[in-house]
């Protein structure tokens, strides 16, 4: 798991600290609470949205990828 966080840091071109990478991973997995107390569940929410909309598996994966990209961009700002 540590290697995964180090890769995230390399991808971010060392613009974020390792703590931010841990926070990012927590948000992706749904174990993070934002400032308003909401739990960010990128994987679960994007998959649920795709299933409810009747999307194909490929479209669901694209939807998850877009959600992760948006989350990662918010972390870099």
Residues of the domain holding 20: 2-76
- Give pLDDT, residue 14: 57
Domain count, the chain: 1
pLDDT score of 22 more than 60: yes
Query: 8 and 21 in contact (C-beta within 8 Å)?
Result: yes
3-class DSSP state of 54? coil
- Give pLDDT, residue 67: 76
Q: Is the dihedral of CA 70, 71, 73, 74 positive or negative?
A: positive
How much is the average pLDDT of 34-52?
73
- Give pLDDT, residue 47: 82
Residue 33 bridge partners (DSSP): 39
């Amino acid at each position: 798991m540590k290697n995964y966080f180090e890769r995230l840091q390399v991808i971010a071109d060392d613009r974020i600290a390792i703590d931010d990478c841990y926070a990012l991973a927590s948000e992706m997995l749904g174990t993070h609470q934002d400032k308003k107390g909401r739990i960010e569940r990128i994987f679960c929410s994007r998959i649920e949205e795709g299933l409810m909309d009747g999307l194909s598996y490929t479209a669901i994966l694209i939807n998850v990828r877009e959600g992760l990209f948006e989350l990662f961009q918010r972390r870099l700002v």
